[in-house]
Structure 1
Amino acid sequence: MAATGPESPKAVTSPRDSENASTSAGKWIHYGGVEIRTRLGGENGAFDGQDRMLSMRADRHKDAASRDPDDFDALYSWALVLQEQAERAEAKGADASRRSDLLAKACARYDAAHRCRPRSHSTLYNWGIALGDRARMSADAPTARQLWGEACDKYRAAVECDVAKTQSTQALNNWGLALQQLATVSRERDEKRRRLLAAVGRFREAIRRDPSFHRAVYNLGTIMYALSEMARSTGGGGGGGPGGGGRRKRNADADAEDDDSDSDADADDSDDGSDDGGSHSGGDDAHGVGAESAPRTPAALQTAAATYICCAQASPGARPVYASSLRLVRRCLPAPALRAGTLLASPPSLPTATSGCWRERRFVLDHEAFWTAPGEGGDDDADDDADDADDRRGLGPLGSWASVPRPTPARGFADADPNDATTTTTTTAPASSGGTRWGVHVNMEDVVSVQPCADASLPRPGHGFRVGLRDGRGHFFVARSEAEREGWVDALTLTRALVCGGRGDALRRELANAGRASQ
């Protein structure tokens, strides 16, 4: 499956420099009020005006750092220029040793800047990019593993610095990409799978913080596809594969308030990022990452991959590679729905759900709503399709339960593969005397939040999530496994973001295409 290529980091020239500079041979450029003529007839690898400006800026920052070794701005800006020089050298086909030397110097400057301002998010983030660039250049597998591990450490520290969780989406995405690269250079299959599952948690947290970040959505889809290929070859979970995403340097301006911090955000447990492959449940662990869980069967993993890639393709700014990747897995979608499966739910109108009220229902999520599929599961009387359609139309925002006779207890799921998110076996309990049909129908435009939750009062197995509505109400649902719960939360979160962003029709078109492809 093709992956998106990384974006080039933001240029480090100032707006004035960018406005007046020209890299075409024979042109005049202006720098500091002085006219400088670029080299005539420049060849590949030759210095041009932009290179000269970068060299002058590097010298200026070097002089400032020499005068004051604790000048954070000088050290940080110097590192940015060195990194930009390395990227330009790569684009012009310069010798690899020169690029490696520039990146090593940039890392040294980031290290010095980090000591001046330990909680600078942008320093740690850009340092991680430089380490990743060095790892990509390394032909030695142990060295590459070490550098990718160090990059993971820097991204993790950057995420930990972002207490407000407003700046770290890109860091989480790049952390996931670094873990994915660690998986490709890992020697053991179990280690590869562990790295990929760790990457799942980073991409998942990125999209929970910013559901419109389509690169992380797509990357999560490629991870699921890679795991499906590993599962197909071994009969169990695992895999490895390419991911995509973007890299973007951050501005140091946002870090000005961190000057007085004396805590070291770069405290790590290992030098090779090995602890990044561990399992975390939920999104509230010490590193602020999402659940590192995924379905285990190839079919369920490919369905998950199709779900994420479909949402990425429906997003504004979707890249061509999303469409080509979606063609590989589109047939796995439960078209015309985005996701379908069995959940435990209680009647929406009950103020308190008692243990005997929970029922299995088959739920469907499409571009408009999250709703109970007609005629699936539950303790209903015999009915026909017309009654089912009438029930759905009459459910209202959160369904209805006209009378509340105590239903036959049906706590928990029927026997099924707990690791397969596509299993839809349901339990049918006998109808209670005077029982009333009920279901859930939630318009996505009314949803304000979707959160996983752990509550001892929820029925077994307790993998619950809550859908919060605009009017303050909400409803709990219980999945049969953590992987299934996280899949529902992701799908609902992404669908809500698309609908609220005016992309509901785009999602509808992609699902319609999937329906035609599966015929």
Structure 2
Amino acid sequence: QALNNWGLGLQELSAIVPAREKQTIIKTAISKFRVAIQLQFDFHRAIYNLGTVLYGLAEDTMRSGRPDVSPNELYSQSAIYVAAAHALKPSYSVYRSALRLVRLMLPLPYLKVGYLTAPPANNAIAPHTDWERSQFVLNHEGLQKADASGQPPSQSMDRGRKPTRIAVEDIVSVSASADLTLPPGAGLCVDTVHGPRFLVADSWEALDSWLDALCLVYTIFARGKSDVLAGIITG
């Protein structure tokens, strides 16, 4: 709660400071909300607040026209947190209203779409040259590699499919990995009931986004709210 309040205070402060200081304060607020969530992944208020601060950052980025930051990516990240907050507390009208604003900013019918580097199927210790950077999709059922055309698969994530897939019900933990045997990049370890699965994100910032999204999807599943999330992204 203290970290969430700290983030809120910084968010309010960012509205009155000079423009040159605003970005630094906003980034600090984001870090406070993120730590609060990592300490308690069903802390829906912090999840929602992180979504709102990212939305504000996207708006500022759009107005400033900064070429180094994609406002669309920030809008999409914002929508992930708002959707997660609503899934955890669907009775909160403020979350429902915010979701109506940002839902179409999600990569529907998925919660998150992005790139990860993965080893060949069934060969986690393959040499680095055999690992492949591919598009992955995340929804209420789990994480899956997109098909060969680069488009998200249209079928449900059934267990018989060959592409790299991690079902949400199989997840035990999700963490950053400093395993020195991984290819260069930001290592991601998804420990499952079948053993650990290693992936590599393009950057540490991208890794944070994947970590949060995976943990939120699992938390929503563990709280018995996967049907709410499914309704958000497929309804």
**How far apart are the structure 2 equivalents of 1:511 and 1:306?**
11
| Map of 2:35 onto structure 1 | 205
Q: Which 5+ residue runs of structure 1 have no aligned equivalent?
A: 1-169, 238-294, 378-384, 400-438, 514-519
Amino acid across the alignment from 2:26? L
Greater RCO, 1 or 2 (C-alpha within 8 Å, sep 6+):
2
Q: Alpha carbons of 1:489 and 1:335: their partners in 2 closer, same or farther (altered >3 Å)?
A: same
Q: Counterparts of 1:223-372 in structure 2 under 5 Å?
A: 223-236=53-66, 296-316=69-89, 318-372=91-145
| Map of 1:491 onto structure 2 | 213
| Map of 1:120 onto structure 2 | none
| 2:124/2:197 contact within 8 Å kept | no
| 2:137/2:144 contact within 8 Å kept | yes
Q: 1:478 aligns with which of 197, 200, 209?
A: 200
**How far apart are the structure 2 equivalents of 1:453 and 1:444?**
19
Number of positions where the alignment pairs a residue of Structure 1 with one of Structure 2: 233
| Map of 2:187 onto structure 1 | 464
**How far apart are the structure 2 equivalents of 1:391 and 1:321?**
32
Q: Counterparts of 1:311-460 in structure 2 under 5 Å?
A: 311-316=84-89, 318-376=91-149, 394-395=160-161, 439-460=163-184
Q: Helix, strand or coil: the match of 1:314?
A: helix
Q: Counterparts of 1:503-518 in structure 2 under 5 Å?
A: 503-513=225-235
Identity %: 38
**TM-score with structure 2 length normalisation?**
0.91
**How far apart are the structure 2 equivalents of 1:317 and 1:334?**
21
**How far apart are the structure 2 equivalents of 1:185 and 1:458?**
44
User: 1:306 Cα deviation (Å)?
Assistant: 0.7
Amino acid across the alignment from 1:367? H
- Write the deviation string for residues 354-376 of structure 1: whole angstroms up to 9, x where unpaired: 21221122111111121112224
User: 1:304 Cα deviation (Å)?
Assistant: 0.5
Name the structure where strand makes up a greater proportion of residues: 2
User: 1:347 Cα deviation (Å)?
Assistant: 2.4
**How far apart are the structure 2 equivalents of 1:317 and 1:324?**
11
Q: Alpha carbons of 1:190 and 1:464: their partners in 2 closer, same or farther (altered >3 Å)?
A: farther
**How far apart are the structure 2 equivalents of 1:491 and 1:234?**
27
**How far apart are the structure 1 equivalents of 2:113 and 2:37?**
21
Amino acid across the alignment from 2:32? R
| 1:361/1:376 contact within 8 Å kept | no
Q: Helix, strand or coil: the match of 1:341?
A: strand
| 1:347/1:358 contact within 8 Å kept | yes
Amino acid across the alignment from 1:180? Q
**How far apart are the structure 2 equivalents of 1:314 and 1:364?**
19
Q: Alpha carbons of 1:496 and 1:192: their partners in 2 closer, same or farther (altered >3 Å)?
A: same
**TM-score with structure 1 length normalisation?**
0.43
| 2:90/2:96 contact within 8 Å kept | no
**How far apart are the structure 2 equivalents of 1:179 and 1:344?**
35
Q: Helix, strand or coil: the match of 1:334?
A: coil
**How far apart are the structure 2 equivalents of 1:466 and 1:347?**
16
User: 1:213 Cα deviation (Å)?
Assistant: 0.7
Amino acid across the alignment from 2:201? A
Q: More deviation in 226-235 or 173-182? A: 173-182
Q: 2:9 aligns with which of 178, 188, 213?
A: 178
Amino acid across the alignment from 2:2? A
**How far apart are the structure 1 equivalents of 2:118 and 2:143?**
13
**How far apart are the structure 1 equivalents of 2:21 and 2:169?**
41
